Every structure is written in structure tokens, then in C-alpha cells.
Amino acid sequence: MKPSKKTSKIVSLIYLFIFSFLLVPFFSIGIGFAETSQIVPLKTYSDQCIKIISALEQYHYLGKKLDKVISANIFDRYIKSLDPGRQLLTQQDMKAISKYKYRFDRDLKKGNLVPAYDIFNLYLSRAVLRLEYFLTLVKTWESEMDFDTDDKIFIDSEDQPFQKRPEDLYPLWKNELKNHIITKKLDNQENDKISESLEKIYTNRLKRLSQTNTNDVFQIFMNSVTTSFDPHTQYFAPRVSEDFDIHMSLSLEGIGAVLQNEYEYTKVVRLIPKGPADKSHLLMPGDKIIGVGQGKDGELKDTIGERIDDVVKLIRGPKNTYVRLKIIPANKTDSTTTISIKRDKVKLEEQSAKKKVVTITQGNKNFKIGIIEIPNFYIDFAAYHRGEKDYKSTTKDVQKILFELNKEKVDGIIVDLRDNGGGSLKESNDLTGLFLKDGPTVQIKTKHRITRLYDEDPSIEYTGPLLVLINRMSASASEIFAGAIKDYNRGIIVGTKSFGKGTVQELKPLGKGKLKLTSAKFYRVSGESTQNRGVVPDLKYPQIYKIKHTGESSLDGALPWDTILKTSYNAYRSLEPVYATLLEKYQERAQHDPGMIYLMKRIGLTNHLNTQETLSLNLAKRREKLDVYTRQELENENEYRVALGKKSVESLDDDSIKLKNPKEIMMEQTHYVMVDFISIAAKLGYGW
């Protein structure tokens, strides 16, 4: 399906590419300083600061001017970026620096960065003191720490009040170190090895803090400024800008994961579809990396508190080599596991759309179901702009697949968009057109106007029953496609609520750095935004991902969901009469399906753990709790194995324990949902 000149022109003028939802700078700069000397801003930063503020006020979607409200927001974000766990600054400190809270609007427009550096230097001295205290305790913890008390620490301490005075911080620091030691003890490490490891860790951190420079401070502060407009608006200093370019080209060899800082941990934000980590089924968004080792047996280096760019360098490496990751899984809070992933490049051919055909028997009838998996929305822009007819694209590949599936006379088609983080807006529009006669597919609202993209080709590549499968990591272009199919009643949407990435970002050069800012929002043809709320499925599956830590709604300061006027489009007959019967059949089947029973128990166990607000610092209680969880997890695994006719295992470490992963279990259910959809729609007289 060739796009019209009008459509191509609109796409070229507006946004040829939707950034795969890069949530925060995946190379955030580490913070700290091991000397007492003060860090001061360079004169050139004043000019750069003025340019950044001018660009934000001129080009950001919100059209806001820097005022007292944003000034207070900058202050709060800056403090949170420096001391997210509220373990360094005190109420006394906050009282002293609060004079800056409503000054940033004036200071930044003048390029005055002194207040920001004053706050950083205050933070700095406390960060050094904390590490020096850790190093003192490391030498005496065996005799001075009692692991039989009922002390506790908060899992998420950002909501706790600041301590009153600096001397009140020492008990917090001691408990923090105590928890670190307990984690190592639960890994069965000997005391002398624990002491040796901790001394090395904190000495290295102190050394790295001494290397913090004025560039780092400027980067940290300016991102507190930019994210005060929205979390996708970021400033990339020259070195970080280079890393961003490398990331967007996907040319580096590694495991295919986007990372970010969360407190002192390195958190997995998303996995590149069909990358090594994604294919391993061992890592998932929300997991926290606390150690990295080289090779299958390499020593694990503790990465808690490490600069994220240093962690990324440890994880990257030549293809066909292994990297070991020690992680705190997203579905756990106080236990760790170690995984091994083989490095490789994310191959273009593996990112392409692929098909599969399955036959499902229901009653005395066989149903042939076509499945199209689309990892992202890709296009060879260079070939496209050169006018080449055979340029590589999602739409061209899916068009070919649909031709083949039509020849095979499938009864229905499933489009799998799970974990598809987006890509080309042009491809999202063109792909939608393969399933519709014609009409608008998405609305794009900037500060000044609303434009629309259209499918202007009346031909339809596939006219039969259609199901679109989404999950929490389906974002941006995926949500545009799913939203259009839903609004046109062209098919049913199944899965979990999508990510909610409904904004557009543009890169603007600023000197040697770059400013990525939000310049527009997407809206469905119905007028509903995809922002924040995402696309809600017609039939909902259990949520695997932890909502609190994934999706647009989890981002501090995310732009809200809203609506604009619906545009004119010709929808098919409403599918509402299908949903009730479809849900009833799904729920009845899920109650007896071994995979769904296993999955629901696993989710229930995870949800129970996630309700915890504190961690005990009693070693025996922690070990007992870990044993109970491990036993429950093993029981669940064995119940599933027995239901499938396989032998039980004695340990979760057993190599033979790998069965179907959650995505496979969900897909099996989707096969039957598709069959139900075909049958119910036929009885109700639907025809496509």
C-alpha cells in the first residue's frame, strides 16, 4: 500500500519517527565528590543555560514560561535527584536552602547557576561523610552489629520525612549497611569475604566521587530543569549526547536493554525486542541490577551506587561472550538471583515482522489462526527518501505476510504487539491502512494546530476477524495502531493496558549538546489521548508487570490524559455485543488451565511481596521469609509441572525447570480467545 503524496508530506513535515519510548536518560550521571573543595560552574554554562530555557519556553508542547510554580518544581526534583532516599539532607539543610526554591525562574533566565551549585556542594559533603562512615563500620561490623534485633528499613524511603539534624542520619546509614550485609549473608558469603568486598566497594565509590566535576553537576541540574516540564524532556551534555546517538543506532553489542538509575540501583526500563535479554526470558523491566560479572564464571562486581554509564560499560562487550548479572527481580523485594546472558547484536532480520500459523480444535471443527508478531515499527528511511520501491518497512513485510496468510485461508489473524515500544509514525499509519478501507488513523496536536494522518488507499489487505494483543510495554506507535483498530471496531484488543506514551519528542542541537523536548501529543480518531492512560483492552489479561514501576503513569510529572474533538471517520459495527460472552468463556477456561492457574499464583505471590513497606534487619527472620517464599514458588512450579505430565524438581535451580514463560502462556490463551471471537461474531451475524 503506497502512501499518498499528501500523507507523505504531512509525515515529513511533522514527525517521521516516534522515539521508542526512552523514559529517562539511560546514561544518567553519577553524583558525589570525595574532597571538600567546592565545585563551581563554568562561564560557558551560563550561556548554555539561557539557551536551554529559551528553547523550552519556545518549543515545548505546554507553551509554559518559567515561573514560580516551575521554579518550585525544579527545586523539588533537584533535591530528589540528589537525595531520593532522604538519607543525606536534613530538615536543617532544607530550611537553609529553601531560599532558592522560588528563585530559579529569575536565576536561570540570567544564567545564574550559583544556587544550584551551592545545593550540590551541601549534598556533596554529606555524601562523602556517609561513605567514610561506611568504611569505618566495615572494619568493626562483626563485633558491633546485632542481627537479632527487630530493626527495619523502609523499602521506598522517599515518602519518609527528612531527619532533623545531621547526627540523626547515622542510624539510617548504619541500617543501610546492615541491610547490605544481610543481602550478602543470604547469598551465603563468609564474613571475611563480606568485609573485603564492602571495603573495596566503598573505597571505589569514594574515589569515583572525587572525580565528579562541574560538567556532571550541570548535567544533573539541567535535567531537573527540563523534566520539570515533563519526564521525556531531557538535556544531553556532549558525552551523554554521543551515548544517546549510539543507543538510537542500536549498533552496540550487548544484551539489548535500556537502563536507568533508581536510587543506588541500576533498573531495567525495557528490553529491546528480540535482543539477547528478551530472548533469554531471564530479565524483565523492573529488575534491579546489583552486580555484573564477565563470562559464565567471572567474579561478580557489586554495582550498587555505581554510575550508570560505568555499569553499562561492564554489561557491554563482544558478541558471543557471556555477562553475568546479579539482580533483584521486579517480583521480589529482598532476594537476589544471578543470571547469565550471551551478548549479541540486535539483528535487523530478527526485528522484522514474522508469521506463524496454528490450528486450534474446538468441538468438531478446526480453526486455522495466523499470528503476526511485530517487535517494532521500522523503516529504512534513507532508501525511502531515495525513492527506492523495495525499501524495508513494517508495512511492506506485513503486507507480504497477509498475502501468504490469505492464500492459506486462515480463519482469523492475531497481531502481537507485546513489548513493541514504537518506532516510525509513518509505519503505524500505513500498517493501520492494511486493515481499513480509508480514513484518519491518528490526530497530532502541537501548541498551534491539530493535524491528522490518513489512510487514503481504499484497498484492504485483510478483511477477516482481527485480534490485537498488547501489554504494558506496548507503547507509542503500537498504541496508535491498537487505538485505531479499537475506534474503528475493526477488531478486538486483548491483553493488559498499554504503556501510555502519547507524546512526541524532537531533538534540537544546543551547542555540542542536545535538547530532547516534547513538542506534540497523539490523539485517537475518537478524540481520546493515548497519553498516560494508554489503550485499555476489550478483554483484560492478568497484569505481569508492576504498574507502579512501569508505564507512563509511573513517571513523575507525566503529562495527563485528556481529549480533543473526535474527527470524522466511518466505524464498523460495534463489537460491544461480543465482549460479555467472550469474557465469560475466557474466565471459565482460565479457571481450569494449568498455565493460567500457575500464572495467577505467581502474580498473587508477587503482589503479596509488593505490599511490604519495610524490610526486617533480623537475619533469621529474613532467611525464614526467603525460605517460605522459595518453598511457595517451588510448590507452584511443581504443581504446574505435574499438570503438564512432567516430573517434579527439588530446586528452583534445576536446569530442567524451564517451562513455558508467561508470554507463551498468554499466547496460548489468545489462540482460544481468537477462536471464541470468530464463533461468537459469526453467530451474531458479523461479516468483514
Catalytically active residues are 476, 487, 501
CB 237 within 8 A of CB 48: no
Side-chain-side CA neighbours of 243 within 13 Å: the count stands at: 19
SS3 of 399, please? helix
Cell numbers 566503598 correspond to what residue?
Answer: 202
Q: Which residues contact 241 (CB under 8 A, 6 or more apart)?
A: 512, 513, 514
Q: Which three cell numbers stand for residue 606?
A: 508477587
SS3 of the chain: helix, strand, coil, percent, to 5: 45, 20, 40
SS3 of 121, please? helix
DSSP lists the bridge partners of residue 671 as: none
Residue 575 CB neighbour total at 10 angstroms: 20
Distance (Å, whole) CA 546 – CA 472: 9
Distance (Å, whole) CA 379 – CA 392: 6
Q: What angle do CA 45, 49, 53 make, to 5 degrees?
A: 175
Q: Which three cell numbers stand for residue 410?
A: 486462515
Q: Which three cell numbers stand for residue 204?
A: 571505589
Distance (Å, whole) CA 478 – CA 45: 39
Strand pairing class (412-416; 365-373): parallel
The residue type of 556 is D
CB 401 within 8 A of CB 462: no
CB 97 within 8 A of CB 122: yes
Distance (Å, whole) CA 406 – CA 21: 33
Residue 557 CB neighbour total at 10 angstroms: 13
Instruction: Identify which of 470, 461, 465, 472 has the alpha carbon closest to the alpha carbon of residue 500.
Output: 472
DSSP lists the bridge partners of residue 494 as: 469, 539
Kindly report the backbone phi and psi dihedral angles of residue 297, in degrees, each rounded to the nearest multiple of 5, phi listed first: -125, 10
Q: Which residues contact 178 (CB under 8 A, 6 or more apart)?
A: 141, 145, 147, 151, 617
In the chain, what is the straight-line distance between the N-terminal and C-terminal CA atoms, in Å?
19
Burial class (CB in 10 A: 0-12, 13-18, 19+), 511: middle
Distance (Å, whole) CA 49 – CA 26: 22
The DSSP code for 37 is: S
Q: What angle do CA 197, 202, 206 make, to 5 degrees?
A: 150
CB 75 within 8 A of CB 227: no
Side-chain-side CA neighbours of 403 within 13 Å: the count stands at: 7
